Homo-oligomer: A and B are copies of this chain.
């Protein structure tokens, strides 16, 4: 679990990265940056920081901030009732991110698989996103991503988001953050 102190530190670090990239948040948004350690207990290795601008039953927009080499583990967005799974477009704004999907295994992928968790990664077709590049993930499509050496900031434009329903390959993962008092 994430301690409150670690959460606040990560919020400050993410806010500073956004400042440096010229992306302006409202004061309230800075205080509410979501810090997701995914229950794995090592935020710098696996996790992400999220600013949700808007999430309606029709569309969603977020800014994702990732620290250097931080990884969002492999997952997919399932069908919900009669609604197809979430579809999402990642657009890199700052830094670099490598995105992995099913398809031809890219030789010598650039991401480093999180130590000890290698068994929970199964798709290795690499897409490199630099500022101005974007890529769309289709409903149900397995994917994971890792920031480059300086970290990354990218926008996520998508259909309605219900993060709590994401299906991760690693069964230990809890998508919704649990914050522990210090």
Contact = CB atoms under 8 A, between A and B. Distances in A.
Interface of A: 21-26, 29, 53-54, 56, 58-61, 87, 89, 91, 93, 131-134, 136, 155, 157-159
Contact of A157 (B29, B132, B157): B157
24 contacts: A23-B93, A24-B132, A25-B132, A26-B132, A26-B133, A53-B91, A53-B134, A53-B157, A54-B89, A54-B91, A54-B134, A54-B136, A54-B157, A56-B87, A56-B136, A58-B58, A58-B59, A58-B159, A59-B59, A59-B158, A59-B159, A60-B157, A61-B61, A61-B157
Contacts of A61: 61, 89, 91, 155, 157
B53 A89 contact: yes
A59 B139 CA distance: 13
Contact of A29 (B21, B24, B132): B132
B87 A58 contact: yes
A89 B61 CA distance: 9
The list of the 5 closest CB pairs from A to B, nearest first, reads A61-B157, A22-B22, A24-B131, A59-B59, A24-B132
Given A54-B91, A54-B134, A61-B89, 14 more contacts: A22-B22, A24-B131, A26-B133, A53-B134, A54-B89, A54-B157, A56-B87, A58-B159, A59-B59, A59-B60, A59-B157, A59-B159, A60-B157, A61-B91
A25 B60 CA distance: 21
A93 B59 CA distance: 19
Contacts of A93: 23-24
Nearest to A159: B58
Nearest to A59: B59
A134 B22 CA distance: 16
